[in-house]
Structure 1
């Protein structure tokens, strides 16, 4: 048997085995985020072609069917997040992401080949399972792989990949729509998502499993090997010991199921995560991301200008996410970032509502667009990166996948509600819709000020200990 001081141990563990370093691992894993972004963004450009009659290459969708096709992915994501989180607890983060890559591929091919409306709805629902599963698993996987000092920047790369995927979708839609005159071009828009799905599956073959998950399975030597691929050799044993100590305490919680919510402090912590997740979507962000052309057309802007403006939304989202990564790199805490962002986007929503009150003109259209871009900047620089990061940080290791999946399912539940209600509101009360969202977000700002914890610079084990103390008192030690 090897010990930490034995010659055999020193010979085999002074350096990590060959394999990708943390930056490359992050790039591979966040292809799941890229697929998330592309599949949620591409539908905005595909729907106009799907509404064409079958003789012209479309599916002849009516307005009600358009809404169902758009919402079917979001609805699938609710279930994907719930079950994806539990699967990642049971079979591991790596294997779960590889499974999701297969589902992404099958869903993309199914969408491209769908012969009728029913099949496109089914295929979009399948894609939603993958999107929801990725949104629950990838941030957790990155948070568990990253050292505490770099966790914020690394997890936020997933948000960057999401908005990059959306930008690619908007841009490719515009390019394909302008150069192709065939009504079935929407099939090419949708099938493009199959390519990064293949790359994700192949890339994950090179990536180590989460050491923290391996510790919960009692696979200590495998966990040690995983850490040697992402940590300096001298830091491995100390971090591994900390993981084992926390895993021993967590063993009393369970294996991640609904029964764990009977424990009062676990229930409170999960409620906190659910609230953060749900409120991130009641900002109204998806009303702008999904329906920006509709909003701008309602102000008097023509269709072509509205489509170009959608690309601006994607560009600002990418820029905002880069700013968020920079703030985290500079050591700014989670609380000040999310609180500042919430205040900024609430003000932007109020301004959009005010601009709608102006007489119809080109100036009004561009003022509304400017307000939308300011909103998206604060959302993507401050809210988007931080709420995904917090969901990956705040839950105990033993139930992290389950609890994150449950919280993320509420991201998609709120997303579905906003997506279904917004078109009705904008048609009925026009710009007053944005005053309503602003009022909701004042309440969210108060909640963030009172409830959001600070997790900067702490290991996940330290975060868990602090939040447990906050809700219940000292962590009970396991019986000897």
Structure 2
């Protein structure tokens, strides 16, 4: 711990909020903020208002309530299973996999709305919403809390998480304003077409994650410090080997460093 702190003091000086946007910390702050915001951009306000959506889709209030209650139980199960999933799969893998499924569910929900007069369509849409809840709770829901804490610098962790959580709140304020208009039959009355809107925002988040979300699983904070300062490409984070005690680290300019690394064959 002393060694890691000494290394970070050499790499980055100062612990102000401004430091979160300087040098290698700028990339780490970006990841933390977008990962948290991705929980909203994936359509959480749409899926978590499922009971209202079920009713707008044509389901009775009694059936909508029962299905909504069942969805809560499914979400709880997904969260419990995520504890074990994170032991065997990388953070990046889980986040990308979960978002890919969510994009597909939202798109299909929107497509099914075009056939809303067919019997059983509302049940198909409702089932996909439940599957969305399970996938979210299994992947980007819980993993969205783990990544910001792991990706941030130890000396700037509290400030980075504050910024990331504020990014989440800004997104959820906008979502809370828009979602009622989308679903209310006396306003925009989009019904299941709302899925297309959130599918678009989730797809943009997925594209960002593919190119920018670094893998942090099985990495010490010390290794992550070196790799971010050395600007290791996103998709090579899982393969690079770093020996923080023998590799030479020399800061050449603010936010830059030379690090000896070897890539696994």
Which category of TM-score, normalised to the shorter sequence, fits these structures? 0.7 to 0.9
Go from structure 1 to structure 2 and tell me whether the alpha carbon gap of 1:245 and 1:288 turns closer, same or farther (over 3 Å shift).
same
The CA distance in 2 between the partners of 1:337 and 1:470, in whole Å, is: 23
Q: Which residue in 2 is equivalent to 1:264?
A: 23
Go from structure 1 to structure 2 and tell me whether the alpha carbon gap of 1:475 and 1:325 turns closer, same or farther (over 3 Å shift).
farther
Q: Structure 1: which 4+ aligned runs deviate by more than 4 Å?
A: none
For residue 149 of structure 2, give the secondary structure of its aligned residue in structure 1: helix
**Aligned counterpart in structure 1 of residue 200 of structure 2, from 434, 439, 444:** 439
The CA distance in 2 between the partners of 1:296 and 1:464, in whole Å, is: 47
The CA distance in 1 between the partners of 2:13 and 2:119, in whole Å, is: 59
Q: Which residue in 1 is equivalent to 2:50?
A: 292
- 1:256, 1:401 within 8 Å by CA — same for their partners in 2? no
- 2:39, 2:141 within 8 Å by CA — same for their partners in 1? yes
- Which of the pair is proportionally richer in helix? 1
The CA distance in 2 between the partners of 1:473 and 1:251, in whole Å, is: 14
For residue 403 of structure 1, give the secondary structure of its aligned residue in structure 2: helix
The CA distance in 2 between the partners of 1:262 and 1:353, in whole Å, is: 38
The CA distance in 1 between the partners of 2:71 and 2:258, in whole Å, is: 46
CA-CA distance at 1:255 after TM superposition = 5.4
**Aligned counterpart in structure 2 of residue 455 of structure 1, from 193, 216, 220:** 216
CA offset digits 1:133-155 (Å, max 9, x no partner): xxxxxxxxxxxxxxxxxxxxxxx
- 1:299, 1:360 within 8 Å by CA — same for their partners in 2? no
The CA distance in 1 between the partners of 2:145 and 2:204, in whole Å, is: 20
Quick check: which has more Rg, 1 or 2? 1
Go from structure 1 to structure 2 and tell me whether the alpha carbon gap of 1:399 and 1:359 turns closer, same or farther (over 3 Å shift).
closer
Q: Which residue in 1 is equivalent to 2:144?
A: 387
- Which of the pair is proportionally richer in strand? 2
Root mean square deviation, CA, Å: 2.1
CA offset digits 1:362-403 (Å, max 9, x no partner): 622211110101111221111112221111100111110011
Q: Which residue in 2 is equivalent to 1:346?
A: 103
Alignment of 1:281-430 (within 5 A): 281-289=40-48, 291-329=49-87, 331-360=88-117, 363-427=120-184, 428=188, 429-430=190-191
CA-CA distance at 1:262 after TM superposition = 5.4
The CA distance in 2 between the partners of 1:434 and 1:262, in whole Å, is: 34
- What TM-score do you get using the length of structure 2 for normalisation? 0.80
CA-CA distance at 1:268 after TM superposition = 2.7
Alignment of 1:55-66 (within 5 A): none
Alignment of 1:69-468 (within 5 A): 243-251=1-9, 253-254=12-13, 256-261=15-20, 263-289=22-48, 291-329=49-87, 331-360=88-117, 363-427=120-184, 428=188, 429-468=190-229
Q: Which residue in 2 is equivalent to 1:470?
A: 231
Structure 1 residues without counterparts, runs of 5 or longer = 1-242
Structure number with greater CO (CA < 8 Å, separation at least 6) is 2
Go from structure 1 to structure 2 and tell me whether the alpha carbon gap of 1:362 and 1:292 turns closer, same or farther (over 3 Å shift).
farther
The CA distance in 1 between the partners of 2:72 and 2:258, in whole Å, is: 44
The CA distance in 2 between the partners of 1:363 and 1:271, in whole Å, is: 43
The CA distance in 2 between the partners of 1:463 and 1:263, in whole Å, is: 16
The CA distance in 1 between the partners of 2:229 and 2:26, in whole Å, is: 11
CA-CA distance at 1:475 after TM superposition = 7.6
CA-CA distance at 1:304 after TM superposition = 2.2
Go from structure 1 to structure 2 and tell me whether the alpha carbon gap of 1:319 and 1:474 turns closer, same or farther (over 3 Å shift).
same
The CA distance in 1 between the partners of 2:95 and 2:18, in whole Å, is: 32
The CA distance in 1 between the partners of 2:148 and 2:35, in whole Å, is: 8
Alignment of 1:4-23 (within 5 A): none
The CA distance in 1 between the partners of 2:154 and 2:221, in whole Å, is: 8
Structure 2 residues without counterparts, runs of 5 or longer = 233-254, 260-265
